Structure formats: C-alpha cells, structure tokens
Structure 1
C-alpha cells in the first residue's frame, strides 16, 4: 500500500512541476505579446518620423510636459528601442522554446508515472494533461 502512495505522491509532484512549467510558458507568452505590440507601435512611430521634414518640430512627452526634441535624436531613440525590443523578443523565443522542450519531457514523465496505475487496479485522481 505504501508503494501506491509513493506512486501517487510521485505523480502529484510531477504534475505540479508540469503545471508550474505551463504557467511560466503562459507568462512568457504574455510578455512576448506585450513586446510584439510595443515593436509594432515603435515601427509605426519610425514610419511617421520618416515622413517629417528636417525642420519639423518633434516633441517628447516627459511626465506631464512636452519637450522639444531634435528629429535625428528622436529617430535614434526609436531605433534603439526597436533594437532592444527585437533582442528581447529573440531572447523570449529561445526561452519559450526551452520551456516547451522541458514541458514535453515533463508530459512524458507524467504519462510514465501514470502507467503503473492500470496494472495495480487504481486510477489516479488527477486528470491527464
């Protein structure tokens, strides 16, 4: 009977680990979505800045105040933001890929941990993932 409890405990532990991993993947997808939106907004700003003449006035919002900014400086700032966001998206893609690979391994581990139950005659109380 204790081996059955050990198996159940092992299954619960593996299922909890899998659940934590899935939450982390979901969180990374949310962050990736936010960065994707920011990238699109910054690319739109860059296109708008490209339409302006050299002598056009550009303002930057700093707190509640609009401060005049040089067009070249505004262009450089937007390009830096685009580079930063692109690098973060690349990093997140790698992180998500690693987490998904770990998730697949954990799923296999959970399935293997569930496999002894039909042999014993017990069904796990946990639903398969």
Structure 2
C-alpha cells in the first residue's frame, strides 16, 4: 500500500511541476503578446499620421543619431510591412496560448484523477 501511495505522490509531483512549467511558459507568451499589441498600436498611429500628410511634406527616419529624409511611399510600405509581421506574430502567439491552455487543462484533469484515485489516509 505504501509503495502505491508513494508512486501516486511522485506522479502528482511530476504533474504539478509540469503544470507550473506550462504556466510560466504561458506567462512569457502573454507578455510577448502584450508587447506586440503595444507595437501594433504604435505603428497604426504612425500609419494614420502618414495618411494625414499633405503631398510634399517630409518624413524623416531616425537612424542612430541621424535623421534621414525618406520618401512617403517607402515609409508607408515599411510601416505596412511591420503591421503585417506583427499581426502574424500575434496570431502565432494566440495559437500557442490556446495550445498551452489545452495542455494545462489535460494536466489539471490528470492531477484531479490522480488525487481521486489515492486511497483515503
């Protein structure tokens, strides 16, 4: 009986450790997603500013300590490219978070089953 209880405890510890690890990984994914959402908002603001520019107005790009003049179409296409990339990354992270939630739910079910299978002490 004691060996079975020890095996159940070891299994429970392993599942709990795995669950904790998944929680930490998910938290990292959520932080990355929040950072990307902030970048998306910033780039959408830049895109709107570009739309408000009149023909002939200048756009400057900060490169190190220097401001370089940039053509509007070039700057606009750079921002659109960034937004496309950010959207794809946000989608990828959302998929990873969903997958992580599924794994965590599975482990939670295994933990509950293991606890219920233990004999009362």
TM bucket normalised to smaller: over 0.9
Q: Which structure carries more relative contact order (alpha carbon 8 Å, separation 6+)?
A: 2
Aligned residues: 120
Tell me the residue number matched to 1:127. Answer: none
SS state at 1:120 partner: coil
Give the TM-score taking structure 1 as reference length: 0.89
Tell me the residue number matched to 2:51. Answer: 50
- How far 1:54 moved relative to its partner? 2.2
Tell me the residue number matched to 2:120. Answer: 120
Deviations along 1:20-53, one digit per CA (max 9) or x if unpaired, are: 1111111111100000010000000000011111
SS state at 1:91 partner: helix
CA distance in 2, matches of 1:12, 1:26: 21
CA distance in 2, matches of 1:54, 1:74: 14
Q: Structure 1: any 5+ residue segments left out of the alignment?
A: 122-129
Alignment RMSD (CA, Å): 0.9
CA distance in 2, matches of 1:113, 1:64: 61
Q: Structure 2: any 5+ residue segments left out of the alignment?
A: none
Structure 1 stretches of at least 4 aligned residues deviating more than 3 Å after TM superposition = none
Give the TM-score taking structure 2 as reference length: 0.95
